[in-house]
Amino acid sequence: MPMYEQPRPESIEDFAARQKGDPGNNGEGMHEKARNGRAKRMKPFSGLISSKAFIDQMKPPEFTIKDLLMRAASYTLCGPTGAGKTLVAILMAIKVARGEWFHGKKCRKGKVAFFAAENPENVRYQYFSICADLDIDPRAQDIEWHKNPFDIAGSLEQTRAALLKIRNLEFVVFDSLQALFPGDDENSNMQMLDFACCFRDLIADHPNRPATLILAHPVKHASKDNLLPRGGGALLNELDGNLTVWADGGMANLHWQGKLRGIPFDPMKFELVVIKPEGLENADGDQMAMTIAKPLTEGREAEIHQQQNREEIATLEALVATPSISMRALAATVGVSRRRMEKIMETLTKRKWIRTYIDHIGLTREGERALRKGQK
């Protein structure tokens, strides 16, 4: 018979450590630090004031990126893997560091702190590539970096001190919420609330009032209309807004969802472009290809849609000519990569233009009508 190891009974020492909030016990250390941080933000009762005095204290909002990111505010930037959220965040960081325009919105010039915790090596390649496309020196930008994940809750004082040394700090980016999360359940409202308080505490006393952007993964199997960070409503309640990125057909939309303290804005569109920047090579000396995000103009968007329509009609024509064609041969016939063809087939299936059978792929009536219309 198989032998099973009995769980070790909890010792008095274990119990005492857990009660004290030891960081190794169910995230209690983080809870304790966050509770202390929340307590520090509490102020004594200051008495009631008149409406006149209340309104006289009103100050106009200031923006790190005009009409997008308010100073001293904290936002999440949520999107699935591959949607381009890190690319968008890097472009924001560069534009703030240079005091330039981000997709038609003026940036307040100042230093940037970028915490590349999730995949620092890839962030390095992406940053290098975007700088190459902008024809600027990546070594000369006013961005300070931290690579690899670390315990924010256990390093609040050290991290806050490091940020305070950057006197003209304007923008702080954390990549990502999940990579830095020290708890044991990222779907726990309480643990995520405590963690969100850590981000608030890092910049609460900074005299330059920088904006904070926290990159985040959405809930599992998230759709375009459900791009909320893991952690539930408690996380959003603590922060000032949730920006979103969703990619489709080589284009990415930057928008917001769930909550936004500030000015609502229309979706900002980007093109995801593959480039081979000079100076970016692998160990064999081959030039590397990297994807970057570029603001998308209306004219360029129209060109992309026309190209997509041509590819879709060509795919339908190929399926009519050879219903049993393989994916590899179909991609070669249309003149696209296999990955691109898989996306086209996914789109055609969602539109119910095609139907897959055991030995072939056929057009539905809707697909036949679309083909006739596209051939005119």
**C-alpha–C-alpha distance, residues 46 and 316, integer Å:** 70
In a domain, 1, yes or no: no
Tokens of 187: 């779907």
Domain of residue 327 covers 298-375
Do 219 and 323 lie in one domain? The reply is: no
DSSP 8-state secondary structure symbol assigned to residue 11? P
Q: Residue 196 has what pLDDT?
A: 85
The enclosing domain of 356 has a CATH number of 1.10.10.10
Q: Residue 219 domain-assigned? A: yes
Helix (H) or strand (E) holding 52: helix 51-56
Is the domain of 290 the same as that of 337? no
Model confidence pLDDT, tens digit, residues 236-257: 888 999 999 999 888 999 999 9
Chain mean pLDDT for the chain:
88
Instruction: Enumerate the H helices of 66-165 as residue ranges.
Output: 85-98, 120-134, 156-164
- Burial zone of 145 (CB within 10 Å; 0-12 exposed, 13-18 middle, 19+ buried): middle
Q: Tell me what pLDDT residue 81 has.
A: 92
Q: Is 174 found in the same domain as 306?
A: no
Task: Tell me which of 239, 260, 295 is where a domain ends.
Answer: 295
Are residues 263 and 303 located together in one domain of the fold? no
Across the beta sheet with 290-295, the strand order is: 143-147, 111-116, 169-175, 211-216, 74-78, 241-248, 251-260, 268-275, 290-295
pLDDT confidence bin for 298, thresholds 50/70/90? confident
Q: How many CA atoms lie within 13 A of 289 on its CB side?
A: 3
The answer to the question of residue 2 being in a domain is: no
Last residue of a domain, one of 246, 266, 295: 295
Question: How many CB atoms sit inside 10 A of residue 138's CB?
Answer: 17
Lowest average pLDDT, out of 39-43, 141-145, 191-195, goes to 39-43
Give the helix/strand (H/E) hosting 313: helix 298-321
Q: What is the pLDDT of residue 85?
A: 97
pLDDT, position 248: 87
Nearest to 198 by CA among 182, 216, 175, 217: 182
Could you give the number of structural domains in the chain? Answer: 2
Give the DSSP letter of residue 139. Answer: G
Do 162 and 283 have their domain in common? yes
pLDDT band at residue 273 using 50, 70 and 90 as cut-offs: very high
Residue 271 placed within a domain: yes
- The answer as to whether 350 is a domain residue is yes
Residues 222, 179 share a domain: yes
| CATH number for the domain harbouring residue 241 | 3.40.50.300
Residue that finishes a domain, picked among 276, 295, 314: 295
Tens-digit pLDDT profile for residues 48-92: 999 999 999 999 999 999 999 999 999 999 999 999 999 999 999
Q: Answer yes or no: is 319 within a domain.
A: yes
Strands 241-248 and 251-260: antiparallel
Q: What is the three-class DSSP state of 75?
A: strand
In this prediction, what percent of the chain has a pLDDT beyond 70? 89
Residue 31: HSE in the Cβ half-sphere, 13 Å Cα cutoff: 17
Query: Which of 279, 341, 277 is closest to 312 using CA atoms?
Result: 341
Query: Does one domain contain both 307 and 222?
Result: no
249 and 341 share a domain?
Answer: no
Q: Is residue 29 part of a domain?
A: no
Q: Are residues 280 and 313 in the same domain?
A: no
Among 10-14, 82-86, 205-209, which stretch is predicted with the lowest mean pLDDT?
10-14
Kindly state whether residue 54 falls inside one of the protein's structural domains.
Answer: no
Asked if 208 and 98 sit in the same domain, the reply is yes
Structure tokens at 167: 């006197």
Distance CA(359)–CA(341), nearest Å, equals 19
Pair (87, 221) in one structural domain: yes
Question: In terms of domains, do 345 and 267 share one?
Answer: no
